[in-house]
Structure 1
Amino acid sequence: MNLDLRSIESKQAYKLLTGSVIPRPIAWVSTTSAQGENNLAPYSFFTVASRQPPALCISIGAGTEEREGTVKDTLANIKLQKEFVINVVPSSLGNEMQKSAEYVPSNVDEFKTAGLTPVESTSVKPPRVGEAPISIELELNQILEIGSDHLVIGNVVHYHIKDEYYLGNYKVDIEKIGILGRLAGNYGEITNIHRLPR
């Protein structure tokens, strides 16, 4: 079987891509609105964009069906404030992450609805998730429009890791964190590390 993805519906192409590009890490993105309201939402189109300067990127799609024709609060806030925080999601916070993904009006604080603690960041205005093992503060580098989505690239300005997940020598204990990854429509915990011989 082979398919020309240019000739099928975008929803069908999306299913093939998200079932093939796995596992995908989840960027739990916290932002702040012009009115100072906190926003928190997960995105699984997420990876490292640059080593020097250290930079991460997320892809943000269009508004949900309830808000068709709009942009997501995360994107609107990043465009305005030029700052955001990416929090790492362990499996132990999976329910809270899923709660923060629900559609709510723009003025609703997902930290509160998910029962999470907003903690003041060091270099940016948006708060970080106090319960997250790792939080990364970023300043906007650029936003690229790619079809229906927006690729948001941010330069890392500050990095937080809880002591129990730090191995020393700038290494993270990824087995202990139990990071949650996106698997098509489901999730998986990254705990079984397969080490290949060198």
Structure 2
Amino acid sequence: MKISLGAKTLAQPTPVWAVGAFDEQGKPNAMIAAWGGICSSDPASLTVSLRPSRHTYAGIMKHRAFTVSVCPANLAAEADYLGMVSGKKEDKFAATGLTPVTSDMVKAPYVGEFPLIIECELSNTLELGIHTLFVGKIIDVKCDEDKLVDGKHPDPEKILPLIFSPGTRAYHTVGQKVGQGFDMGKKYMKK
């Protein structure tokens, strides 16, 4: 029997993405956002939702660009810190020892130690209650070479991306491959 939990943000899982932007003074900053995902294939785009009160918000609005650095499980404590303090008061990169790297494609920094980076131009915004949904047109994706499968696709088993469970506020990572998409279900197709 299923139990009603009410209208809550309990989708499973959510990403642990470090959203990078230069602040209004040009200082690199990154914050953790769990509200995000792919929203379009053409043009390739993703979304992140931030509250206007967040320091990163003003930087994205000013520079019309942001990055998403996908956090690996072995840097969970650093990522957690990026989500706990404001870049307005703290230099998060200095505190964690993480390296801000200026994107060569958009006017935004990313986290050098995180293996998968998505560089975005801000293409749209939508006010949604207490959050603003930022739509970023993906300009480039960068991945550590040793984290690729077949030399061209990020491998989740090598990256071990950190994921977040909103209800329990716990971090997890992905498991092993279950099967091949667009193949396993063929057994149900009419011949």
TM range (shorter): 0.7 to 0.9
Note if contact 2:19-2:32 (Cα within 8 Å) is conserved in structure 1: yes
Does the aligned pair in 2 maintain the 1:100–1:113 contact within 8 Å? no
SS of the residue 2:84 aligns to: coil
Matches within 5 A, 1:16-55: 17-18=9-10, 21-55=11-45
Match in the other structure for 1:76: 58
Task: Measure how far apart 1:191 and its partner are.
Answer: 2.5
Does structure 1 retain, via aligned residues, the 8 Å contact 2:127–2:133?
A: yes
Contact 2:65 2:120 in 1 (8 A): yes
Match of 2:67 among 85, 88, 97: 85
Identity %: 28
**Given that residues 21 and 65 in structure 2 are in contact (C-alpha distance below 8 angstroms), is that contact kept between their aligned partners in structure 1?**
yes
The number of equivalent residue pairs is 178
Query: How far off its partner does 1:104 sit?
Result: 3.4
Alignment partners' CA distance in 2, 1:172 and 1:123: 19
Give unmatched runs, 5+ long, in structure 2.
Answer: 186-191
After superposition, give the CA deviation of every residue in 1:102-147 in whole Å (9 maximum; x if it has no partner).
2235153211112101122111122211101111111001110011
TM-score for the superposition, normalised by structure 1: 0.83
Q: What CA RMSD, in Å, does the superposition of the two structures yield over aligned residues?
A: 1.8
Deviations 1:12-56 (A, max 9, x none): x43xx22xx111112211110121111111111110011011101
Which sections of structure 1, spanning at least 5 residues, go unmatched? 6-12, 63-70
Within the alignment, does 1:152 sit opposite 2:134 as a pair? yes
* TM-score, L = length of structure 2: 0.86
Partner of residue 186 from structure 1, selected from 164, 170, 187: 170
Tell me if the contact between 1:45 and 1:59 (Cα under 8 Å) persists in the aligned partners. yes
Code of the aligned partner of 1:174: P
Which runs of structure 1 show a deviation greater than 4 angstroms over 4 or more consecutive aligned residues? none
